[in-house]
Amino acid sequence: MVEDKLALFDKSINEFGSKYRSTLSDAPCQMVGLRDAYKDSVKSLREKLSVKLKEEERMIEMYLEYKNQVNRQNELIPEKKDNLLKLIAEVKDKKQKLEDLRRNIQDLKEEYSRKKETISTANKANEERLKRLQKSVDLYKARRGLEIRKIYVSDSAPHLECLAEFQENVRKTNNFSAFLANVRKAFTAMVYT
Protein backbone atom coordinates (compact mmCIF):
# COMPACT_ATOMS: atom_id res chain seq x y z
CA MET A 1 0.00 0.00 0.00
CA VAL A 2 2.79 2.38 0.94
CA GLU A 3 4.89 1.33 -2.06
CA ASP A 4 1.92 1.97 -4.36
CA LYS A 5 1.65 5.48 -3.00
CA LEU A 6 5.37 5.99 -3.43
CA ALA A 7 5.21 4.73 -7.00
CA LEU A 8 2.29 7.06 -7.73
CA PHE A 9 4.17 9.91 -6.12
CA ASP A 10 7.29 9.10 -8.13
CA LYS A 11 5.25 8.96 -11.34
CA SER A 12 3.66 12.32 -10.65
CA ILE A 13 7.08 13.82 -9.93
CA ASN A 14 8.51 12.41 -13.15
CA GLU A 15 5.56 13.82 -15.09
CA PHE A 16 6.08 17.18 -13.43
CA GLY A 17 9.80 17.00 -14.21
CA SER A 18 9.11 16.18 -17.85
CA LYS A 19 6.74 19.10 -18.23
CA TYR A 20 9.17 21.38 -16.49
CA ARG A 21 12.09 20.32 -18.67
CA SER A 22 10.10 20.83 -21.81
CA THR A 23 9.23 24.38 -20.80
CA LEU A 24 12.79 25.24 -19.85
CA SER A 25 14.70 24.21 -22.94
CA ASP A 26 16.98 27.27 -22.86
CA ALA A 27 18.84 26.36 -19.65
CA PRO A 28 19.58 22.67 -19.97
CA CYS A 29 22.68 22.53 -17.76
CA GLN A 30 21.12 24.36 -14.97
CA MET A 31 18.09 22.19 -15.36
CA VAL A 32 20.13 19.01 -15.25
CA GLY A 33 21.69 20.16 -11.97
CA LEU A 34 18.33 21.08 -10.52
CA ARG A 35 16.90 17.84 -11.76
CA ASP A 36 19.66 15.79 -10.14
CA ALA A 37 19.29 17.75 -6.89
CA TYR A 38 15.55 17.23 -7.13
CA LYS A 39 15.98 13.48 -7.72
CA ASP A 40 18.41 13.22 -4.81
CA SER A 41 16.04 15.06 -2.50
CA VAL A 42 13.12 12.90 -3.68
CA LYS A 43 15.20 9.75 -3.15
CA SER A 44 16.19 10.89 0.32
CA LEU A 45 12.60 11.79 1.10
CA ARG A 46 11.43 8.41 -0.25
CA GLU A 47 13.93 6.57 2.00
CA LYS A 48 12.84 8.58 5.05
CA LEU A 49 9.19 7.96 4.26
CA SER A 50 9.88 4.24 3.80
CA VAL A 51 11.63 4.08 7.20
CA LYS A 52 8.77 6.00 8.83
CA LEU A 53 6.19 3.73 7.24
CA LYS A 54 8.01 0.62 8.46
CA GLU A 55 8.19 2.12 11.96
CA GLU A 56 4.48 2.89 11.82
CA GLU A 57 3.73 -0.69 10.73
CA ARG A 58 5.81 -2.01 13.64
CA MET A 59 3.98 0.36 15.99
CA ILE A 60 0.62 -0.85 14.66
CA GLU A 61 1.69 -4.49 15.10
CA MET A 62 2.86 -3.77 18.66
CA TYR A 63 -0.36 -1.92 19.38
CA LEU A 64 -2.44 -4.84 18.10
CA GLU A 65 -0.34 -7.30 20.09
CA TYR A 66 -0.75 -5.24 23.27
CA LYS A 67 -4.45 -4.89 22.58
CA ASN A 68 -4.75 -8.68 22.24
CA GLN A 69 -2.85 -9.17 25.49
CA VAL A 70 -5.13 -6.69 27.25
CA ASN A 71 -8.18 -8.49 25.85
CA ARG A 72 -6.86 -11.85 27.08
CA GLN A 73 -6.18 -10.35 30.51
CA ASN A 74 -9.65 -8.81 30.56
CA GLU A 75 -11.13 -12.24 29.75
CA LEU A 76 -9.21 -13.74 32.69
CA ILE A 77 -10.33 -11.06 35.16
CA PRO A 78 -13.79 -12.57 35.93
CA GLU A 79 -12.28 -16.02 36.50
CA LYS A 80 -9.58 -14.60 38.77
CA LYS A 81 -12.19 -12.50 40.54
CA ASP A 82 -14.31 -15.61 41.17
CA ASN A 83 -11.26 -17.47 42.48
CA LEU A 84 -10.41 -14.55 44.72
CA LEU A 85 -13.96 -14.39 46.06
CA LYS A 86 -13.84 -18.14 46.76
CA LEU A 87 -10.54 -17.73 48.60
CA ILE A 88 -11.95 -14.84 50.62
CA ALA A 89 -15.01 -16.95 51.51
CA GLU A 90 -12.76 -19.84 52.56
CA VAL A 91 -10.65 -17.53 54.70
CA LYS A 92 -13.78 -16.10 56.35
CA ASP A 93 -15.08 -19.62 56.94
CA LYS A 94 -11.79 -20.70 58.47
CA LYS A 95 -11.70 -17.59 60.63
CA GLN A 96 -15.23 -18.38 61.81
CA LYS A 97 -14.26 -21.98 62.57
CA LEU A 98 -11.18 -20.76 64.42
CA GLU A 99 -13.30 -18.35 66.44
CA ASP A 100 -15.78 -21.15 67.20
CA LEU A 101 -12.91 -23.37 68.34
CA ARG A 102 -11.56 -20.60 70.54
CA ARG A 103 -14.98 -20.13 72.13
CA ASN A 104 -15.29 -23.88 72.53
CA ILE A 105 -11.88 -24.06 74.20
CA GLN A 106 -12.79 -21.16 76.46
CA ASP A 107 -16.08 -22.87 77.40
CA LEU A 108 -14.22 -26.11 78.10
CA LYS A 109 -11.68 -24.26 80.25
CA GLU A 110 -14.48 -22.61 82.21
CA GLU A 111 -16.29 -25.94 82.59
CA TYR A 112 -13.02 -27.56 83.68
CA SER A 113 -12.52 -24.81 86.25
CA ARG A 114 -16.08 -25.27 87.53
CA LYS A 115 -15.68 -29.03 87.74
CA LYS A 116 -12.30 -28.66 89.40
CA GLU A 117 -13.87 -26.29 91.92
CA THR A 118 -16.78 -28.72 92.44
CA ILE A 119 -14.36 -31.61 92.92
CA SER A 120 -12.28 -29.55 95.31
CA THR A 121 -15.39 -28.60 97.28
CA ALA A 122 -16.56 -32.24 97.27
CA ASN A 123 -13.12 -33.39 98.42
CA LYS A 124 -13.20 -30.88 101.27
CA ALA A 125 -16.70 -32.01 102.19
CA ASN A 126 -15.58 -35.66 102.04
CA GLU A 127 -12.61 -34.87 104.23
CA GLU A 128 -14.90 -33.19 106.75
CA ARG A 129 -17.32 -36.14 106.59
CA LEU A 130 -14.42 -38.57 107.00
CA LYS A 131 -13.24 -36.62 110.05
CA ARG A 132 -16.76 -36.79 111.53
CA LEU A 133 -17.01 -40.50 110.75
CA GLN A 134 -13.59 -41.07 112.29
CA LYS A 135 -14.77 -39.22 115.41
CA SER A 136 -17.87 -41.45 115.46
CA VAL A 137 -15.71 -44.56 115.05
CA ASP A 138 -13.45 -43.38 117.84
CA LEU A 139 -16.50 -42.64 120.00
CA TYR A 140 -18.01 -46.11 119.38
CA LYS A 141 -14.64 -47.68 120.00
CA ALA A 142 -14.07 -45.76 123.25
CA ARG A 143 -17.59 -45.98 124.70
CA ARG A 144 -19.08 -49.14 123.27
CA GLY A 145 -15.96 -51.16 122.72
CA LEU A 146 -17.02 -51.52 119.09
CA GLU A 147 -14.27 -51.52 116.50
CA ILE A 148 -15.08 -50.85 112.86
CA ARG A 149 -12.43 -52.06 110.46
CA LYS A 150 -12.28 -52.24 106.74
CA ILE A 151 -12.29 -55.87 105.69
CA TYR A 152 -12.55 -57.49 102.27
CA VAL A 153 -14.75 -60.39 103.33
CA SER A 154 -18.26 -59.51 104.59
CA ASP A 155 -18.08 -60.86 108.13
CA SER A 156 -18.00 -59.89 111.80
CA ALA A 157 -16.42 -61.22 114.93
CA PRO A 158 -18.35 -62.83 116.50
CA HIS A 159 -20.24 -64.00 113.44
CA LEU A 160 -23.81 -62.70 112.94
CA GLU A 161 -26.21 -64.75 110.80
CA CYS A 162 -28.32 -61.69 109.95
CA LEU A 163 -25.33 -59.55 108.76
CA ALA A 164 -26.04 -60.27 105.06
CA GLU A 165 -29.60 -59.02 105.53
CA PHE A 166 -28.36 -55.84 107.25
CA GLN A 167 -25.86 -55.26 104.41
CA GLU A 168 -28.59 -55.64 101.80
CA ASN A 169 -30.77 -53.12 103.70
CA VAL A 170 -27.94 -50.57 103.89
CA ARG A 171 -27.32 -50.93 100.14
CA LYS A 172 -31.00 -50.32 99.44
CA THR A 173 -31.61 -47.51 101.94
CA ASN A 174 -28.12 -46.03 102.19
CA ASN A 175 -28.84 -45.50 105.92
CA PHE A 176 -25.62 -46.44 107.70
CA SER A 177 -26.89 -45.29 111.09
CA ALA A 178 -29.75 -47.82 110.92
CA PHE A 179 -27.25 -50.50 109.93
CA LEU A 180 -25.08 -49.76 112.97
CA ALA A 181 -28.11 -49.70 115.23
CA ASN A 182 -29.29 -53.10 113.87
CA VAL A 183 -25.79 -54.62 114.25
CA ARG A 184 -25.55 -53.27 117.81
CA LYS A 185 -28.96 -54.78 118.68
CA ALA A 186 -27.93 -58.10 117.15
CA PHE A 187 -24.68 -58.18 119.19
CA THR A 188 -26.56 -57.17 122.33
CA ALA A 189 -29.10 -59.96 121.78
CA MET A 190 -26.25 -62.43 121.15
CA VAL A 191 -24.57 -61.44 124.43
CA TYR A 192 -27.79 -61.97 126.43
CA THR A 193 -28.50 -65.39 124.90
Tell me the pLDDT tens digit for each residue of 74-104. 999 999 999 999 999 999 999 999 999 999 9
Give the separation between CA 190 and CA 123, rounded to whole angstroms: 39
What pLDDT is recorded for position 111? Answer: 95
135 found inside a domain: no
Q: Place 18 in a pLDDT band, splitting at 50, 70 and 90.
A: confident
As for how many domains the chain has, the answer is 1
Mean pLDDT of the chain: 85
Q: Taking the alpha carbons of 98, 103, 108, 112 in that order, is the dihedral positive or negative? A: positive
**Rounded distance, CA 18 to CA 92, Å?**
84
pLDDT in tens, 178-192: 998 998 899 888 888
Distance CA 64, CA 41 (A): 34
Dist. CA 64–CA 55, nearest whole Å: 14
Q: What is the pLDDT of residues 46-60, one digit of tens each?
A: 888 889 889 999 999
> Which of 32-46, 138-152, 164-178: highest mean pLDDT?
164-178
> Is 162 a member of any domain?
yes
Which pLDDT value is given to residue 81?
Answer: 93
E-state strands within the chain: none
Q: Is residue 189 part of a domain?
A: yes
Q: Which domain holds residue 177?
A: 149-193
Read off the pLDDT of residues 137-157 as tens digits, 9 standing for 90 and up: 788 777 777 666 676 676 777
State mean pLDDT over 114-140.
Answer: 90
Residue 170 maps to a domain? yes
Does 64 have pLDDT greater than 70? yes
Mean per-residue pLDDT, 154-180: 86
Per the CB < 8 A criterion, the answer to whether 16 and 38 are in contact is no
For residue 67, pLDDT beyond 60: yes
Considering the domain boundaries, does residue 176 fall inside one?
yes
169 within a domain of the structure (yes/no): yes
The predicted structure's pLDDT at residue 30: 64
